[in-house]
Amino acid sequence: MVTINAETELYALFGSPVGHSLSPEMQTAAFRERGRNAVYLAFDVKSERLKDAVSAIRALGIRGVNVTIPFKEAIIPHLDALDESARLYGAVNTIVVRDGLLVGHNTDGAGYIRSLEELFLIDWPKQRVVLLGTGGAMRAVAIALAQKGVRSITLLNRTEERAQALAVELSRFDVEIDVERWANRRHVLDDKTLVVNGTPLGMIPRTDESPLPKEALHPGLIVSDLVYNPFKTRLLMDAENVGARVHPGIGMLVYQGALAYELWTGEKAPVPVMYQVARSNLVHLKDAGRKDAEHRIHATMSEARQKEPER
């Protein structure tokens, strides 16, 4: 039981929709584990009230904020400053209140890398990467991988123009960039070492779908999925069946949140607790068999993806 009193610190999530978010449970559990008198609430903010919501951070003494779609870019003009990560990605997912100033950060890319490195020992300069999709989350992953110095990145998206636009952004890094047609995706993995799915294929309730045919996968791959509900997608199950290593999407979710926690508090995040809470909430949704809940999650996530501008 969380005790609320006049000294309780408030942290928040701004976005729309936010009904699917696991961050309130995950972050509040982290505060409790570290003995902090704090809670984390999700606020569904209408686009026309975003400026008011940012003003409320100061007015109400909110200690820190996460930002999710569709506001990761729109919130930038309302902040006092951006750190290097937010400037690099052109998007903000975390606001830190520092000396009365609202400073935008982005923990998405670093969270992804950290979650991958927790599972695998990776020789980054040898990695030949395939990225499926070019949405906001995948853009952060692409930039983070380029920063790590991977050998090559191949981009595939249903709309090839968006893949070409992301290729232009990545051209500032010393990495070989290639764009392939979506229809060719089954033929580009033979010599690759890491494939990342940033599409909604496999998300509840479309759990029988995968962005790749099973025959395209091979044991030399790390197969990473940004979809975190269900915990193990069809893509990841197919990958395991052919002997590939798998990286579930819950890792990025937990570590981007853990890095935000560390920015706000200056102390190490209790990652195992955050992971356990996030994982148990996914299990609850699946095991309860509540199809209405699953469809609601799918509807809100689909709406959010439609709102989020793809690069």
Q: Looking at the annotation, which residues are catalytic?
A: 72
- DSSP H or E run through 95: strand 94-98
Which residues, 6 or more positions from 229, have their beta carbon under 8 angstroms from its beta carbon? 20, 203, 204, 249, 282, 285, 297
> What's the first-to-final CA gap in the chain, in angstroms?
43
Burial of 241 (0-12, 13-18, 19+ CB in 10 A): exposed
What number of other Cβ atoms are within 10 A of residue 89's Cβ?
24
Q: Tell me: cis bond preceding 272? Omega within 30 of 0 counts.
A: no
How far CA 140 is from CA of 91, 131, 163, in Å, comes to 9, 11, 14
In sequence order, what are the beta bridge partners of 42? 13
Residue 143, token pair as written in the block: 């930039």
Which among 268, 260, 280 has a CA at the least distance from the CA of 11?
260
Which among 23, 19, 26 has a CA at the least distance from the CA of 296?
19
The SS3 assignment for 223 reads: strand
